[in-house]
Amino acid sequence: MDRLSNTVRPYAWGSTTALPALLGQPSTGEPQAELWMGAHPGAPSLVDRNGTPTPLGEIIAADPVTELGAATVDAFGPRLPFLFKVLAAGSPLSLQVHPDRDRARRGHADEEQRGVPASAPERNYKDDNHKPELICALGEFEGLCGFRPADESAEIIAALEIDALKPYVDLLHARPESDALREMLTAVLSTDRAEFAETVRRAAASAERLGAAGGPHAAAYAACAAAAHHYPGDPGFLAALLLNHVRLQPGEALFLGAGVPHAYLNGLGVELMANSDNVLRCGFTPKHVDVPELLRVVRFEPRDPGVLRPEASSDGAEVYGTPAREFRLSRYVRAPGAADSEPAAGSPQILFCTDGEVELVRADGAALTLGRGQSAYLGATEEVRLRGTGTVFRAAVAL
């Protein structure tokens, strides 16, 4: 078992206070958006073996079967298949979707063949992997997830009382729903941004008024209007009104599969995903928006956001069930005097303490203490017991 030294990514949308408070560090006043735990080459965690800080990816590459287990290597190759993060949103992230594995492979191969530089702003596929992900709230967490029913979106947009948006209302009343949603998103993102900006600004102002007035959709209006303040004139505002507004309570989670449009608006949460960086954006961003490729990836299907709550397992953990094979998130909430917890071995795992203090104890008596904001890596063959009082999130492979 190894204590991890992790990197904080300072993206502009990050909170200036949430991560410092969790990690017990003073705030610098600058945005701190994500804490990365894992072996992603963009910001690998370091482990201290034999007195030398070493990237976790190098440790795994030196002996992948011992570190990952034969089943993980057979399924995913000699690399850690998941990336574990803490996400701290102080302002909205972009509206985005992630590709499925087949689309990622084809898109990545095409861009490689065409010689699109990895750092190019128009690059869509940084790797050839899909990116299913799970976000679990550590406090109240607000986001947008999946399409609403088209008739409901039509009602929401009609209430803005903007004449220029009436054609979209009529379109959303058309059938089938998937065609209506596709046509509206295509029209919104293909319009001349400069010409459409005033309409968007007026619509956002109307949404702000409706949010303050109360009513069944007040929270969604207020959230989308607040996001529009960060990106004035961005047509993504209308795309946001097509999506379910979700407010998670601590311990609740969302699973985002391929093609599901979503945006995280504000809050602190732990995030677990397949080890990929493939994102296609559709709004609330100054970055490149590739509309034709986006339309190939988005799944135009109204869906319930599917708020997840953990279920008890035999090892004393609470497990968040998802269809992802690359990862499984579980949580240990240890009360004073509780019997030792025993995370199952056989998979590489990262343990992250969000509250209290816990001790990882091996059979030979070796121990590692994790306080709030600290994490550890365990190879597939390592067995430990958890002692102490606190909350620990565990990332492991679902195989």
Positions annotated as catalytic residues are 281
The torsion defined by the Cα of 239, 241, 247 and 248, in degrees rounded to 10, comes to -30
Residue 262 is assigned to a ligand binding site: yes
Both tokens of 141, joined, read: 């967490």
- Could you give the CA distance from residue 210 to residue 152 in angstroms, rounded to a whole number? 16
Both tokens of 355, joined, read: 């509250």
Residue 383 is assigned to a ligand binding site: no
Residue 98 is assigned to a ligand binding site: yes
Closest CA to 93 of 254, 284, 348: 284
Residue 32 is assigned to a ligand binding site: no
- Could you give the CA distance from residue 341 to residue 384 in angstroms, rounded to a whole number? 9
The torsion defined by the Cα of 72, 256, 230 and 118, in degrees rounded to 10, comes to 40
Helices (H), the chain: 18-23, 56-62, 64-68, 70-76, 101-113, 150-158, 166-172, 177-190, 193-213, 218-230, 236-240, 291-297
- Could you give the CA distance from residue 351 to residue 353 in angstroms, rounded to a whole number? 7
Strand residues in the chain grouped as ranges (E): 2-5, 7-9, 34-37, 46-49, 52-55, 82-89, 95-97, 133-137, 141-147, 243-248, 253-256, 262-274, 280-283, 311-312, 318-320, 328-334, 349-362, 367-371, 375-378, 384-396
Q: Which residues are annotated as a binding site for Zn(2+)?
A: 96, 98, 133, 262
Q: Which residues are annotated as a binding site?
A: 96, 98, 133, 262
